[in-house]
Amino acid sequence: MKQPYRVLCTLLVLYGSLLPAAYGQTCAGEGEAARPPAQTDDATKGYAVNDLWQACGQVWRAASVKAGAADWQAVQASGLPADSFGAHTVFAGGTTRMVSGYTGHALDVALTVRGQPISQTLDITVDGQLDTAPLGARDQGTFAVVTRVYDQSGHGNDLQAVPGKAVVHIGETQVNGLPALSWGEENGPGGFVLPAHTHVDSGSFFFGTTGAYASSNSGYAAYPVPLMLGQGGHEFKVYFGGYQLDGFVHVSDSANPDQRLNLVVTNAPATFSVWAQAATYHVQSGNMRAAGRGRIDVPALQGGYIGFNADGGAWFSQGRNSGIWTGLVLADHVNNAAAVEQFRVASVRQGRQVPQIRNALVVLGDSRSEGFRVADGQNWPRLAQAYGQYQSYNLAVSGATTRHLVGMLPAAAQVAAHSGNRVAVVFGGYNDHLDQNHIGYDETLANLHKIIQNLQAMKYYVVLVAEAPTDSVLRGKIMSALASGALPADATVDPFAPGQVLSNPANTQYWDKDFTHFTAQGQAELARQIWSSIRAGFAQSGHRE
């Protein structure tokens, strides 16, 4: 079937010649990623009305998902993401053109060149792309740190790095070929300040990002805050995981400081947005949507932070954002659902996103999967996406015990409810036996057994990663339990077996100096070794009763 898809996509490109060339109308991938939707792409496959489908630069929207008679209608929308809100766009920026016709400054960055710090401005060129050539001058092993994100909307609301917390990099990672603004564990907590004079309507604001997130859950024992609007006790926040490390999206306002929504953010390339309307918060990630009640006791929210929450105290401010963003849009007043849909369509087209993909990976684990000690979101679950197209949900949290992993099961169930073939990777237990946790080996094994059985009941193909040699006792107990069938995983991956490159924690090419966590190369090796089991799991999980 691959050749017919290529032929059809060629026809779509010819038909779609009215689309701007900057969209890069080329097809990659197989199956749903390289073909138009069919009548059989219906509710029985997990699709819903208003879902989007993108192939070869063309976007369709589901008008009906009736079994066997789905109606997907081509959307011939024009424009770029920030065009959707017109004059109500109070900020638009990023690593690509977000407003039609924009050329000019995109980012200010701090570089180290020949040992000396310099400032450099990166521009959006006439073709709508970021000129990254100046980044090549930086010294090897140094980062390009973003200090300003210019506002393309014309309002002059540039984002400035939080003083002393300039941690966002450019030039370290991409999303579908576009350079990205990247946060990460090793970057540290930080982000950007909205200008104090920026106001948005508390009952109808919109915030959206394009690109990806490296994690769906909390970070470094505190949750990240991608967005905080307002100040002085009159604030809105959106964050992931919460105190419970549960993996769900949470929102906070003056009426409710912690409202969990039935949404888990995908880590695949996707659009994320939150829109306030009629005392309701609408949150969206890819094709998945959720809503919660909202009430803010002031008419407008002034100022705020992007990717940080300096006004929230020590607990909030230590959370690392996990954004890998190509664009950001903030609108002060949106009462038109069609404008929000136009933003989604424009973002999907520009970023070559494939929200229709239904295969899903869920990762339950600790800091070794979250990416502790690694910069720019380069954890192994994110790196594994280079091998295939699927929705990815990294629920791993630094410091998580197997008790926390049990608490992530509801998020895995939420993902399963709208997924096709699904795989779960479980890699945890080490933190149980740190002095402060006092969890015995028997409970560790019992919790892992419970996690595996619950995931299998959700029709996940479960891959268990063997424990590292850092805890030889736990490793031995897990290997024995696997051999006896006491841990009934569908597959086991042992990247630490004798002879493997990760077998020696003293090898500093792959292991951090703490003998527990991995370097970026170690994370890449984990991704390579675990991927074969993920791929096999996608093939086999579809045959489960």
Question: What does the mean pLDDT of the chain come to?
Answer: 92
List pLDDT tens digits, range 183-239: 999 999 999 999 999 999 999 999 999 999 999 998 655 678 899 999 888 899 999
216 is written with which tokens? 């769906």
CA–CA separation, 342 and 77 (whole Å) = 7
Which pLDDT band holds residue 382 (cuts at 50, 70, 90)? very high
Asked if 448 and 386 count as a contact pair (C-beta separation under 8 A), the reply is: no
Q: Above 60 in pLDDT, residue 438? A: yes
State the DSSP code for 511.
B
Question: Rounded to 5, what percent of the chain is helix, strand, coil?
Answer: 25, 30, 45
Kindly report, residue by residue over 504-515, the tens digit of the pLDDT: 999 999 999 999
CA 477, CA 449: separation in Å to the nearest integer?
A: 13
- % of the chain beyond a pLDDT of 70: 91
**251-260 contact pairs (CB < 8 A, 24+):** 251/281, 251/283, 251/292, 251/294, 253/294, 253/295, 253/296, 254/295, 254/296, 254/297, 254/298, 255/293, 255/294, 255/295, 255/296, 255/297, 256/293, 256/295, 259/292, 259/293
CA distance 208 to 92: 10
| Alpha-carbon radius of gyration of the chain | 23
Q: Are 386 and 418 in contact (CB under 8 A)?
A: no
For 43-61, the pLDDT digits (tens) are 999 999 999 999 999 999 9
**Local confidence band at 78 (pLDDT 50, 70, 90 cut-offs):** confident
Burial 430-440 (b: 16+ CB within 10 A, else e): bbbbeeeeebe
DSSP for 231-288? ETTEEEEEEESTTTT--SEEEE-SS-S-EE-S-----SSEEEEEEEETTEEEEEETTE
Does pLDDT of 23 surpass 50?
no
Whether the pLDDT of residue 3 is over 60: the answer is no
- The three-state secondary structure class of 507 is coil
Q: Is the pLDDT of residue 28 over 70?
A: no
Q: What is the mean pLDDT of residues 271-286?
A: 97
Quote the longest CA-to-CA distance of the chain. Answer: 66
Picking from 200, 272, 194, 192, the residue whose alpha carbon sits closest to that of residue 240 is 272
What is the C-alpha separation between 292 and 395, in angstroms, rounded? 22
Domains plus CATH for the chain? 2-75 (no CATH), 81-101+181-351 (2.60.120), 360-541 (3.40.50.1110)
> Which is it for strands 178-182 and 234-240: parallel, antiparallel or unpaired?
unpaired
- Residue 93: band (very low, low, confident or very high) from pLDDT cuts 50, 70, 90: very high
Q: How far apart are CA 239 and CA 241, in angstroms?
A: 7
The burial class, CB within 10 Å (0-12 / 13-18 / 19+), for 297 is exposed
Do 511 and 496 touch, CB atoms closer than 8 A?
A: no
Q: Report percent pLDDT > 90 for the chain.
A: 85
**Per-residue CA distances from 179 to 56, 120, 285, 370 (Å):** 20, 16, 20, 22
Between 428 and 76, the more confident residue is 428
Order of strands across the sheet that contains 71-75: 52-55, 58-64, 71-75
73 closest CA partner among 57, 61, 89, 90: 61
Contacts of 163 (CB under 8 A, 6+ apart): none
Characterize the bridge pairing of strands 491-493 and 461-465. parallel
Question: Can you tell me whether residue 27 is helix, strand or coil?
Answer: coil
Q: How far is CA 329 from CA 177, 510, 535, in A?
A: 20, 38, 35
Res 317: pLDDT: 64
Cα distance between residue 432 and residue 479, in whole Å: 17
pLDDT range class, residue 419, cuts 50, 70, 90: very high
- Helix (H) or strand (E) segment spanning residue 383: helix 380-384
| Apex 524 CA angle, 520 and 525, nearest 5 | 115
Report the pLDDT value the prediction gives residue 11, as an integer from 0 to 100: 43
Counting every residue written for the chain, the total comes to 545
Provide the whole-model pTM: 0.94
Q: Distance between CA 204 and CA 213 in Å, rounded? A: 25
